Amino acid sequence: MSAARKAYDIIRADIIEGRYAPGDRITEGEVATTAAVSRTPVREALHRLEAEGLIRFVPNQGAFVASWGVEEAEEIFELRARLECYAVELCAQRASDAALAELRDLAERQLVAATERPRGYLKKIADLNSRFHTALLHASNSEQLRASMATLANAPLVFQTFRDYSEESLARSARHHLELVEALEARNPDWAAGVMRAHIYAARSVFRNVHQSRERALGQKTA
Amino acid sequence: MSAARKAYDIIRADIIEGRYAPGDRITEGEVATTAAVSRTPVREALHRLEAEGLIRFVPNQGAFVASWGVEEAEEIFELRARLECYAVELCAQRASDAALAELRDLAERQLVAATERPRGYLKKIADLNSRFHTALLHASNSEQLRASMATLANAPLVFQTFRDYSEESLARSARHHLELVEALEARNPDWAAGVMRAHIYAARSVFRNVHQSRERALGQKTA
DNA sequence: CCGGGTATAATTGTATACAATTTGTGAAAG
DNA sequence: CTTTCACAAATTGTATACAATTATACCCGG
């Protein structure tokens, strides 16, 4: 594995898993030491992460972990709704049978995990969910779309909220995926887009509820 | 100006203005020489351009100028339709009066240029058009949207097709901009989005016609 | 004449060294 | 005691040097 990739993986994991807090400054030297590579590939990784929206660069000051307000989160959901709907429309026209089979497999395993809830099922669901959306994007086979979506691959947003999903919401999310596959197998772009819209807006609704709960909790704490 | 920015500007201009053909390989050393900087900032610029979709990286082989088929062009128009519609919806809610005034000014000047056609009006229209869409994006005030659109800032597509616009198409494009401003001033997101959709799909139509003409011309040539 | 393989050259990937800018500290003046 | 200026430490930005990988050219065998 290349040194740049190594640095990228480490920094990304540190951000997503919360070892860097939003707004934190990431110094190149520190990462270079922990990753046991030089600063050059670290800079490369940081710039890539900036393009993906996980960090922001300030000239001559370095990299800071991006922080989203609730407003920006709403925008991300809106953008995902529009772009992923387009993705599934393309999929309905283009996806190979093999790709559809893979999507079905992922969706079915996610539904099993969501209903049977084995040990560590939350992590498993998050992983399957991520792979499902990635596979979808891949099956849409559009380089331009992939590039646009890359900036929204804000896994933190999805990842962090997953543990706040109710059991029913988790199952519904998995069922959305399954219905989406059905729509794709039927080669019906409108159906697929409709399911995807519902999927994203349902996720936004969960996010809003969680956020409001947190706000209330904070309000009581400070009061 | 930083060396990285310098290299970025040079490479980008070389691609957009056709000095690099699609599929061409860009070697770091060559750029470093012409830009009079070291390879380090050149690599940085290349990676940024990759994020913006203008070039593609192959590991251990370097950077290649991206090439779009007609299929990819269609995708870019689709993506622009969806993203810019969202942009104007945000604008209708958020844009300051000053921003609206600037947009109106740009649109009016474009209409004048399109109807009176002074010397060098094509370049002027291209410039005003570009500034209009940039101002729109800025007024929408969404960092996430800006990042997503950056990957589609494929000026080559817009720039090259402008000289193929008929006089009527040029005027219509300018009128679209004016009506869009009117919709924004009325704070009506649906109206604004509708105008934008029409605007983009009209542009796509022109592109298709031009493309088909070119195809025919090529067909006769080779026949 | 053509295909394969090896050696050489060119290019990318990485590390290190240096320059430029910023930030933090501390002492002196008010 | 606070503020301001200067200096020092730290960090980013860039250049250069080196290692690893890939492309090319040439020679040899068929």
Compute the distance between CA of residue B158 and CA of residue B131 in angstroms, rounded to an integer: 13
Q: Using an 8 Å Cβ cutoff, are A222 and A137 in contact?
A: no
pLDDT at residue B143 is higher than 60: yes
pLDDT digits (tens, 9 = 90+) for A128-181: 998 999 999 999 999 889 888 888 866 666 666 777 788 889 999 999 999 999
Structure tokens given for A205: 């609704």
Q: Is the minimum distance from the CB of B115 to strand C below 7 Å?
A: no
Q: Is the minimum distance from the CB of B7 to strand D below 7 Å?
A: no
- The secondary structure element, H or E, covering residue A64 is strand A62-65
Mean pLDDT, rounded, for A185-203: 97
Nearest by CB to A53, which of B40, B53, B147? B147
Nearest to B43 by CA among B78, B89, B3: B3
Distances (CA, A) of A203 to A70, A104, A209, B24: 14, 20, 10, 43
Structure tokens given for A172: 């519904």
Q: Using an 8 Å Cβ cutoff, are B4 and B49 in contact?
A: no
Beta carbons of B144 and A79 less than 8 Å apart? yes
| pLDDT classification of B90: cutoffs 50, 70, 90 | very high
Compute the distance between CA of residue A137 and CA of residue A186 in angstroms, rounded to an integer: 18
Dihedral angle computed from the Cα positions of residues A8, B24, B207 and A96, in that order, rounded to the nearest 10 degrees: -60
Shortest Cα distance from B174 to chain A (angstroms)?
26
**Which of A61-75, B33-47, B171-185 is least confident?**
A61-75
Mean pLDDT, rounded, for B66-92: 92
Determine the pLDDT at residue B11.
Answer: 96
Determine the pLDDT at residue B67.
Answer: 85
Determine the pLDDT at residue B96.
Answer: 97
Compute the distance between CA of residue B129 and CA of residue B106 in angstroms, rounded to an integer: 8
**Which of A35-49, A111-125, B93-107 is least confident?**
A111-125
Q: Taking CB atoms and an 8 Å cutoff, what residues of chain B touch A90?
A: 75
Compute the distance between CA of residue B180 and CA of residue B191 in angstroms, rounded to an integer: 8
Determine the pLDDT at residue B186.
Answer: 98
Specify the pTM.
0.84
Query: What is the identity of the amino acid at B187?
Result: R
**How much is the CA Rg of chain A, to the nearest whole Å?**
19
Nearest by CB to B144, which of A53, A86, A90? A53
Burial class (CB within 10 angstroms; exposed 0-12, middle 13-18, buried 19+) of B166 = exposed
**Summary mean pLDDT of chain A:** 91
Structure tokens given for A208: 């809003």
pLDDT at residue B10 is higher than 90: yes
**Summary mean pLDDT of chain B:** 91
Which strand C bases fall within 7 angstroms of a protein CB?
10-17, 21-23
pLDDT digits (tens, 9 = 90+) for B188-199: 999 999 999 999
- Which nucleotide lies closest to A40 by the C1' atom and the CA atom? C14
Determine the pLDDT at residue A166.
Answer: 85
Compute the distance between CA of residue A200 and CA of residue A49 in angstroms, rounded to an integer: 24
Determine the pLDDT at residue A214.
Answer: 78
Q: Using an 8 Å Cβ cutoff, are A52 and A150 in contact?
A: yes
Determine the pLDDT at residue A17.
Answer: 85
Compute the distance between CA of residue B195 and CA of residue A63 in angstroms, rounded to an integer: 39
Helix axes A143-150, B143-150, angle to 10 degrees: 150
Determine the pLDDT at residue A69.
Answer: 82
| pLDDT classification of B183: cutoffs 50, 70, 90 | very high
Q: Using an 8 Å Cβ cutoff, are B86 and B92 in contact?
A: no
Q: Is the minimum distance from the CB of A61 to strand C below 7 Å?
A: yes
Determine the pLDDT at residue B17.
Answer: 84
Mean pLDDT, rounded, for B140-145: 90
Query: What is the identity of the amino acid at A68?
Result: W
Helix axes B70-94, A70-94, angle to 10 degrees: 150
| Best residue of B77, B78, B151 to probe chain A, by most A CBs closer than 10 Å | B151
Mean pLDDT, rounded, for B51-67: 92
Determine the pLDDT at residue A163.
Answer: 75
Shortest Cα distance from B129 to chain A (angstroms)?
22
Q: Which residue has the tokens 């079915």?
A: A108
Share of chain B above pLDDT 90, in %: 70
**Which of A32-36, B26-30, B161-165 is least confident?**
B161-165
Share of chain A above pLDDT 90, in %: 70
Compute the distance between CA of residue A17 and CA of residue B193 in angstroms, rounded to an integer: 38
Query: What is the identity of the amino acid at A14?
Result: D
Strands B55-58 and A62-65: unpaired
pLDDT at residue B222 is higher than 70: no
- The secondary structure element, H or E, covering residue B95 is none
Determine the pLDDT at residue A85.
Answer: 97
Share of chain B above pLDDT 70, in %: 93
Q: Which residue has the tokens 């012409």?
A: B34
Distances (CA, A) of B149 to A57, A171, B113, B216: 18, 34, 27, 33
| pLDDT classification of B160: cutoffs 50, 70, 90 | low
Higher local confidence (pLDDT), B44 or A168: B44
- Residue A139, SS3 per DSSP: helix
- Residue A116, SS3 per DSSP: helix
